[in-house]
Amino acid sequence: MTIATLTGDNGILGKAAQAKEKTNAAGDLEYLQTEVLGIMAEYYTGDKSMQEDEYILTELGKKNGITANIAKGTVTYKNKEYTLSEITGGTQEKEQIEKNGLEEITLANAEKGSNEETLLKEQSVRAIITEKEDKTNKAVIPTGFYYVTGTPSTGLVISDKMGDDDNNSKKGNQFVWIPCSGTNGIPYEKTDDNGAGNHGLASYWEDYKSKQYYYTTTTTTGETITGWSDNGGSYASVTKYGGFYIGRYEAGVPRNTDFYADSEGATYHTNAKKNADAVLNMSPIVQKDTQSWNYISQEKAKKVSENMYKSSTSVTSSLVDSYAWDTAVKWMASDSKYSGIGMDSKNYGNYLDNTSITANTLYALHRYAGRNATGVANNKSDYWTFATKYKKGNMTSGRITLLTSIRDQYEFALNSYDDTNYNYYIYKELATGAADETKVKNIYDMAGNMWEWTTETGNHTTANGSSGTTFAVLRGGSFNYHGSDGPVSGRYGNSSTSGFNVSIGFRPVLYIK
């Protein structure tokens, strides 16, 4: 090896030094971003008489080793100068806001005495985004969150990570604004007196009641449904701020667990870890291209959803409630492009009868054995088995027949076959947000992929009148349903709050405090 190969900017040692310098610079920027997060939290909980940028720079300049230049809008740390926009992601955010025909209202530019100014004085509010063409269409950005893409009318996306983008490259948790005011808003389903209707909710239930299963009828366990109620939602928050946020993606397994997997060949875990008591101290992630958190009960999905922002002074996170779900469905259907989605969602989700999904990404395979019409012994039953590893590929159909000629391509926990009495099929479970075909108004997989737990529960009684199991409502269908039987409006009431299985996940919502 020559000296020239080792030294110089293009030599091995030179490139190694450059790589180390870039790594250190990235670490320094992350440090500054962390400091800014704390300063911004202080700003929004204190006196806002000073403009946000000036306040941040002033406070940064008080930190050891940091020099701030308020006039230039820069700070110097470890002999490197950074603009405040570099640190906060503000330049990218402002560019996106302008690109999408929007205006950002902050306390610095709000009209004096306006409702916007009043809201911006709340510690929970960072900014208000309005559409230039119709300023009645607006979204409130909570403190600690950042604009990503979209408009209030078409699906405005926020992230809890600075500089995040539409591809979720920064791995922030992303949420979509559901507008309940303005020209293109949808009235919130919940009213101040909890609404009306035979399940205690408002009128949207009536619009899709043909898509209910075990909701007003006797369950398979012999219990009778006597009523449904929902302790979720927040009429006060929605009325004050004009809307709420719903998870852009299905809830995903947190990355710091020993059962997280997002790569080819990773182990597919079932309930042993995903529903253990240890998860009660965890929080889900709402991010693109990760594994949906299935095999978790409604009771635990509710608790972990509440964990996400339990220390936040700006938002409350919770498991999605029926009010939020129905309002979101009506908002989707209000667009002529999606007008039929409530009755048949086949083309908008990962269902067994959707053959248009082309995502080349992480998925899990499930084998289902369906009995033939004849020749089945009495002790035979239909059953599921699961792929032992995650896959990547371009399987476009929601279900394919597992013919003998292709069985060797798939690895299942149980690979015995009884071709006399059974037909075998493969069903596909997608990673969260993996396919744009499942995106409606910037929300992914509300239709299909996973049934999703809600906070709506039913009072079931046994045939002799004694109290039975508490059941929770599932919404939106799943990968092993048809899009017409389990559309996004679908309501399924035959699952115990303590139950769990392969096709049930969940989704958090945010209400601004």
pLDDT given at position 306: 98
Q: Which residue has the higher pLDDT, 155 or 21?
A: 155
pLDDT given at position 49: 63
As a whole number, mean pLDDT of residues 44-73 equals: 80
Spell 18-28 as b/e; 16+ CB within 10 A means b.
eeeeeeeeeee
Burial class (CB within 10 angstroms; exposed 0-12, middle 13-18, buried 19+) of 490: buried
Lowest mean pLDDT among 140-154, 176-190, 467-481: 467-481
Residue pair 487/341 in contact by the 8 Å Cβ criterion: yes
**Bridge partner residues of 504 (DSSP):** 451
What does the domain layout of the chain look like in residue ranges?
3-87, 89-172
By DSSP bridging, strand 508-512 and strand 146-149 are unpaired
pLDDT given at position 15: 46
pLDDT given at position 307: 98
Lowest mean pLDDT among 239-253, 264-278, 410-424, 490-504: 410-424
Of the pLDDT bands very low, low, confident and very high (cuts 50, 70, 90), residue 222 is low
Q: Which residues contact 218 (CB under 8 A, 6 or more apart)?
A: 224, 225
Distance CA 335, CA 246 (A): 18
pLDDT given at position 138: 97
Nearest CA-CA partner of 402 in 418, 388, 380:
418
Distance CA 4, CA 1 (A): 8
Burial class (CB within 10 angstroms; exposed 0-12, middle 13-18, buried 19+) of 135: middle
Q: Which residues contact 67 (CB under 8 A, 6 or more apart)?
A: 61, 75, 76, 77
Q: How many CB atoms lie within 10 A of CB 64?
A: 4
Q: Which residue has the higher pLDDT, 192 or 3?
A: 192
As a whole number, mean pLDDT of residues 46-72 equals: 82
Q: What is the DSSP string of 337-386?
A: GGTTTTT--GGGSB-TT-------EEEEEEEEEEE-SS---TT---EEEE
Residue pLDDT, tens place only, 250-276: 999 999 999 999 889 999 998 889 999
Residue pLDDT, tens place only, 170-207: 899 999 999 999 999 999 988 775 544 344 455 677 78
Whole-model pTM? 0.84
Tokens (6 digits) for 288: 């693109």
Q: How many CB atoms lie within 10 A of CB 494?
A: 20
Residue pair 315/444 in contact by the 8 Å Cβ criterion: no
Phi and psi at residue 458, to the nearest 5°: -115, 150
Q: Which residues contact 127 (CB under 8 A, 6 or more apart)?
A: 104, 105, 106, 120, 140, 141, 147
Q: What is the identity of the amino acid at 368?
A: Y
As a whole number, mean pLDDT of residues 32-41 equals: 82
Residue 117's H or E segment, with its range, is helix 115-120
pLDDT at 422 over 70: yes
By DSSP bridging, strand 212-213 and strand 491-496 are parallel
pLDDT averaged over the chain? 86
Burial class (CB within 10 angstroms; exposed 0-12, middle 13-18, buried 19+) of 71: exposed
Residue 496's H or E segment, with its range, is strand 491-496
Distance CA 182, CA 137 (A): 5
